[in-house]
Chains A and B, each alone.
Chain A
Amino acid sequence: AQSVTQPDIHITVSEGASLELRCNYSYGATPYLFWYVQSPGQGLQLLLKYFSGDTLVQGIKGFEAEFKRSQSSFNLRKPSVHWSDAAEYFCAVVTSGSGNTPLVFGKGTRLSVIA
């Protein structure tokens, strides 16, 4: 069965510091990979996605993620965190070409930003 692991439940970083959120997936086929962000009390907003091609993908709000097939990872990065980045982040995966199969989500990583 497909699964997504986000090893860090909660991360605290200082404003201006760099950020890396980890995501590992368990999958037999070529995956489509996503990162979503959820601000408090809100729905999920797509940050970025990887389907194929260049393994380093750029997203909104200055985020990027790198797909590493050998490590089954899709880690999210940002060079300099802003206080407004405090939110919960979800990694999600689905088999490529699977049409209407729902996304499988990790349990999320909550990011706190301190001054």
Chain B
Amino acid sequence: DVKVTQSSRYLVKRTGEKVFLECVQDMDHENMFWYRQDPGLGLRLIYFSYDVKMKEKGDIPEGYSVSREKKERFSLILESASTNQTSMYLCASSFWQGPEAFFGQGTRLTVV
């Protein structure tokens, strides 16, 4: 079975902190994605990557950056966390030709 693992289930951070959310997949997938999920808004794409060191902006990249130094790992970075970034963050991966995406269990981030 494909496994997508997010490093934390729950995180509480302070406003202004730099926050790292880590995601690792074990299926040699080329594509990796970060989504944000909020009630009533569904899943919104923050960034995705189709290869090591490659990244593409999604629908809501402001306030976020990403890093993909190794194929299996995709990190989401909040440079200076703000309360409006309190949310559920979901990582996903897929093969180059897609299209099916496999999801991690999610990280619920609270910024206080």
Which A residues contact B (CB, under 8 angstroms)?
Answer: 9, 32, 34, 36, 41-46, 49, 90, 94, 96, 98-103, 105-108
Which B residues contact A (CB, under 8 angstroms)?
Answer: 4, 9, 30-31, 33, 35, 40-43, 45, 48, 50, 58, 90, 92, 94, 96-106, 108
Beyond A94-B99, A100-B31, A102-B33, is A42–B43 a contact (Cβ under 8 Å)?
A: no
* Interchain CB contact (< 8 A) of A43 among B40, B41, B45, B103: B103
Count of chain A to chain B residue pairs whose CB atoms are closer than 8 Å in the complex: 61
Beyond A43-B90, A90-B43, A107-B41, is A100–B105 a contact (Cβ under 8 Å)?
A: no
Interchain Cβ contacts under 8 Å between A and B, 21 examples: A9-B40, A41-B9, A41-B106, A43-B4, A43-B90, A43-B106, A44-B103, A45-B103, A46-B102, A94-B98, A98-B99, A99-B96, A100-B30, A100-B31, A100-B98, A102-B45, A103-B99, A105-B43, A106-B42, A107-B40, A107-B41
Most buried by A among B31, B35, B96, B103: B103
- When distances are taken between beta carbons in the complex, the residues of chain A under 8 Å from B99 are 32, 34, 94, 96, 98, 101, 103
- When distances are taken between beta carbons in the complex, the residues of chain A under 8 Å from B98 are 32, 94, 98-101
Beyond A43-B90, A102-B33, is A108–B104 a contact (Cβ under 8 Å)?
A: no
